Each structure stands twice: as C-alpha cells, then as structure tokens.
DNA sequence: TCGATATTTCAACAAATATCGAATCAAGGG
DNA sequence: CCCTTGATTCGATATTTGTTGAAATATCGA
C-alpha cells in the first residue's frame, strides 16, 4: 500500500460520523446497510451522510451497490486489512506491537 | 481505547508530513530524533513541524524530552499498538483481516 | 404517467487545518 | 552577561472540511 493510499484511508476514518458509520457496516457484515438506515442510526442529515460515505468510498473502505431504491453500503474488509498491515509494517517496526500479549513469530 | 482517542490518533497520522515524521521516528527507534533533524529531513519550516509534532503528541503517538538545546521526539509504540488493536477489534470483526494469510485462532 | 420514496448533488457558509515569517523562550559557550 | 543555537508560539492567510437546505436523479407502485 502506498502511503498516499494510507493517508486517504486514515483521513476517512478520522471523523466521528465516518468511523461510526464504518463500524456499523463492519457489524452488519457482507449484508451491508442502506444509506437511509445509516443516516437514521447516526442521526445525521442524509446529505451529510452522502458526503461522508463518498469519502469512505474514495478511500476504498466501502463499496456500494444499488438495490431497488436503496443504495447498500458494505465495508471492504480487504482494504481495512491492508491499512492495518501498512500500519503494522511501517509504524510498528514490522512487529505486532500490541503491547501486552506475546505473539508467535510467524504471526501478523 | 475509546473511539475519541482513536479518532485523534487517526487524524494525527492522516497527513503527509505527520505520517512521514512518525515513520522516521519509528525507524529511529527508542533513540528518537531531534525536532531540527526531522524538519531538515522533511524539508518543512521548523514552525510547521512544531505544529505537526504538537498534534502527534496530543494524540499520544510521540513523546518528547529536552536534551540540552534540542528536543528529542520518540514514537510511542504502545499507543500505536493500541490503535492497531482498536482497528482490528472494532473494524475487522475481531479477526486479523489481513487478507491472504490464514491466521491461527488465538492469534491477534 | 404521476406521485412517493431513497439518495445524491449543488451552493453557501462556518469551522478547522496547514503554512509561513517574525517574535519569543530556553540552554550553552565565550 | 551577551551571543548563538534549537525550538516553540503567535499572527496572518489560504485551503480544506463539515453542515445544511434546496434541487436534481433514480426507482418503484398505483
């Protein structure tokens, strides 16, 4: 992953509503959620949500597909994994730096 | 880690110069780097760097200690690990979502 | 085709962010 | 005590970001 890509992904997640939206999509799994359902759960205006979803999509963190009148958004787990991988490799000395627990060498 | 903390950390890393600075500090390890050395390597004005380092410090990603006339910055690996952990737990369905490789269940 | 529903796009604006140069502060060396 | 060096703080300014309401687009059912 290029650092420019990582910056876009980090920026996309670095906002209250977008992080919350993405977490809801992760929770929803492959089924995803319609834009309207997200707006309702997040209690923000539909146009605001559109703005945020566009940023998440631009960063490649979510995918969208029209289903009837609704547009269903799903989290892109591969993209998220790539981001975590980038952070681990470039910002953690290549080790899984999650503090307490010791990790087997081949892991992460 | 609270989501507010995660947002601050994500926002701190979501900028070209700050991400580059943090990577240099990771590379430098526990020894760290002086502010001046960072500014020179990043080719930005000292005052700009101060602004960015303040954000990284506010997010808890770097620590600073005065050493003579210089101020030495070091990456906080525990904070970075906590961020990676947060993303893995909350945004990857608790699994290490790093795409290709299959991970043992107890891992990550 | 018409109307209702689901979303996005647009325009306008307030707020936050990034940048720089000048001024300020801290620590040493003469 | 002065002067130099390393770094931060302060203004000023340009850019980006987030929010909203109104208008436009797409789909479906009657």
Domain residue limits, chain B: 3-94
| B60: its two tokens | 């808890």
What top-level class would CATH report for the domain A3-94?
mainly alpha
Percent of chain B with pLDDT over 90: 81
pLDDT digits (tens, 9 = 90+) for B52-87: 999 999 999 999 999 999 999 999 999 999 999 999
In which band, very low, low, confident or very high, does the pLDDT at A100 lie, cut at 50, 70 and 90?
very low
CB contact under 8 A, B14 and A11: yes
B3 contacts in A (CB within 8 Å)?
Answer: 16, 19-20, 23
Q: Is B34 in the A-facing interface, judged by CB distances under 8 Å? A: no
pLDDT digits (tens, 9 = 90+) for A37-77: 999 999 999 999 999 999 999 999 999 999 999 999 999 99
For the segment A10-22, the average pLDDT, to the nearest whole number, is 98
């Amino acid at each position: 992953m290029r650092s420019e890509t990582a910056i876009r992904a980090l920026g996309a997640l670095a906002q209250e509503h977008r992080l919350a939206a993405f977490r809801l999509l992760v929770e929803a799994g492959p089924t995803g959620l319609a834009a309207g359902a997200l707006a309702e759960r997040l209690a923000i205006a539909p146009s605001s949500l559109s703005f945020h979803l566009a940023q998440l999509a631009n960063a490649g963190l979510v995918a969208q597909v029209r289903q009837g009148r609704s547009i269903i958004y799903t989290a892109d787990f591969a993209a998220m994994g790539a981001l975590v991988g980038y952070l681990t490799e470039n910002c953690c000395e290549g080790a899984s730096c999650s503090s307490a627990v010791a990790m087997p060498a081949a892991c992460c």
